[in-house]
């Protein structure tokens, strides 16, 4: 599966269609989302059942984890498992949130299928910025507040009114907790990066108009939703633990917030321990702990892009060539004896693939071909050979 290509949502559901329901309660799902790093905005892995031929980038992992979280939330809350119904409902959900607007070009390149529309929405939710340059310079491209989409979707399945205001309230409380958690400790360079990341991840509120005066605690005390409160506690722990240090003052802040949220001392301590364990295991790959300047970030980002393209396309070309060798063997065989129906179908498909390669390469070598080719692929999905379409479902 390739989350950067059209049709990846269809491939995702094809991969899980025969699997038994992996979660019996939302608590189980939440635990898994913490292990993948999705709750923390740090997507270090994806569900085990989802196979990818290549190493996934941070944004690709975030796309898969967001879809996975939304789908199983839908199944748990509605006790339904109809994929088409889920896609329809989640598209309606994002319409209600007023964040599913697409440009004219995106409308042109997007098919009328609901899954294609959802792919564009999820892509827009994962990226912090809209332009390619800022994406390249920003090594942190996953959205730290994506889990708010899941909490809001959970609420939407039971109460569809004022859903955007509901999301605004969660984001308001979360960013205030983070702000005060940062102020409870001695700041360093990582703190500034973390603050910028959270600020960039905001969707529903304007941070410049925020009032960081402590009044957010009134909303905390009035809130009785367990999974929202758990998320707020995770955000507070994440903020103070990002540099793997926790002095008495910070601990005092965390325990104060935790008690306001209705958690016992034991529950608060467990959240801190889980954050500590997560950081100990994954500190080397957590993006916001990197302290690179812009030039190094740009070089690293470009290196990753080039490396990904080389690795992925070399495997595809190798596959195409190996299939062509089989074609030659089958054609040679056909000169002395009749081919079976299966062999004839193979010859037909591989001849079509080779014919597809010619226009693909012709487009690519034209001036601006690197820009034109993705557009042609969206308009004519079957343009490229089958080995280049990792989301194809036979």
Q: Kindly report which listed range (141-150, 171-180, 318-327) carries the lowest average pLDDT score.
A: 318-327
> What predicted TM-score, i.e. pTM, was given to this entire model?
0.72
pLDDT in tens, 217-239: 888 988 889 999 999 999 888 87
Question: What is the predicted pLDDT for the residue at 303?
Answer: 47
pLDDT in tens, 325-351: 676 777 777 777 888 888 888 777 766
Long-range CB contacts (within 8 A, 24+) of 114-118: 114/84, 114/87, 114/88, 115/7, 115/9, 115/10, 115/87, 116/6, 116/7, 117/91, 118/9, 118/67, 118/87, 118/90, 118/91, 118/94
Q: Are 181 and 243 in contact (CB under 8 A)?
A: no
Can you list the positions of beta strands (E) in 153-274? none
In the three-class reduction of DSSP (H, G, I as helix; E, B as strand; rest coil), residue 244 is classed as: coil
Is the model more confident about 291 or about 98? 98
Question: What is the predicted pLDDT for the residue at 88?
Answer: 94
pLDDT in tens, 247-280: 544 578 889 999 999 999 999 989 888 888 887 8
Question: Which pLDDT band holds residue 81 (cuts at 50, 70, 90)?
Answer: confident
Ordered by start, the domain boundaries in the chain are 1-159, 162-291, 295-388
3: CB partners within 8 A, 6+ apart: 56, 60, 63, 64
Question: What is the predicted pLDDT for the residue at 87?
Answer: 95
Please check the confidence at residue 302 and state whether its pLDDT lies above 50: no
Sign of the CA dihedral with 300 first, then 306, 310, and 313 last: positive
Please check the confidence at residue 192 and state whether its pLDDT lies above 50: yes
Over residues 125-131, the mean pLDDT reads: 59
Is the model more confident about 324 or about 235? 235
């Amino acid at each position: 599966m390739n989350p950067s290509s059209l049709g990846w949502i269809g491939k995702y559901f094809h991969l899980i269609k025969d699997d038994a329901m992996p979660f019996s309660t939302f608590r189980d799902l939440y635990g898994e989302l913490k292990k993948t790093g999705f709750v923390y905005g740090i997507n270090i892995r994806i569900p085990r059942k989802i196979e990818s031929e290549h190493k996934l980038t941070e944004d690709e992992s975030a796309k898969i984890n967001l879809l996975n979280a939304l789908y199983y939330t839908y199944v748990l809350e509605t006790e339904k498992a109809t994929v088409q119904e889920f896609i329809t409902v989640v598209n309606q959900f994002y319409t209600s949130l007023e964040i599913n607007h697409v440009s004219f070009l995106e409308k042109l390149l997007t098919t009328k299928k609901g899954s294609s529309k959802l792919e564009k929405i999820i892509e827009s939710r994962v990226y912090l910025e809209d332009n390619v340059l800022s994406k390249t310079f920003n090594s942190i491209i996953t959205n730290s507040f994506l889990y708010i989409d899941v909490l809001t979707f959970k609420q939407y399945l039971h109460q569809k009114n004022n859903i955007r205001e509901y999301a605004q309230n969660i984001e308001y409380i979360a960013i205030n907790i983070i702000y005060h958690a940062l102020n409870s400790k001695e700041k360093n360079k990582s703190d500034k990066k973390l603050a910028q990341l959270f600020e960039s991840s905001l969707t529903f509120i304007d941070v410049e108009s925020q009032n960081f005066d402590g009044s957010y605690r009134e909303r905390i005390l009035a809130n009785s939703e367990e999974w929202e409160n758990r998320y707020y506690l995770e955000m507070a722990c994440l903020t103070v633990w990002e540099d793997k240090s926790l002095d008495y003052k910070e601990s005092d802040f965390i325990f104060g917030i935790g008690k306001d949220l209705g958690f016992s001392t034991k529950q608060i301590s467990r959240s801190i321990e889980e954050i500590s364990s997560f950081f100990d295991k994954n500190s080397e790959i957590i993006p916001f702990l990197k302290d690179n300047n812009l030039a190094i970030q740009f070089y690293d980002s470009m290196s990753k892009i080039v490396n990904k393209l080389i690795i992925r396309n070399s495997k595809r070309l190798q596959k195409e060539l190996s299939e062509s060798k089989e074609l030659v063997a089958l054609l040679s065989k056909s000169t002395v004896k009749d081919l079976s129906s299966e062999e004839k179908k193979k010859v037909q498909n591989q001849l079509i693939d080779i014919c597809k390669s010619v226009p693909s390469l012709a487009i690519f070598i034209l001036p601006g071909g690197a820009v034109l080719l993705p557009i042609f692929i969206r308009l004519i999905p079957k343009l490229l050979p089958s080995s280049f379409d990792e989301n194809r479902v036979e």
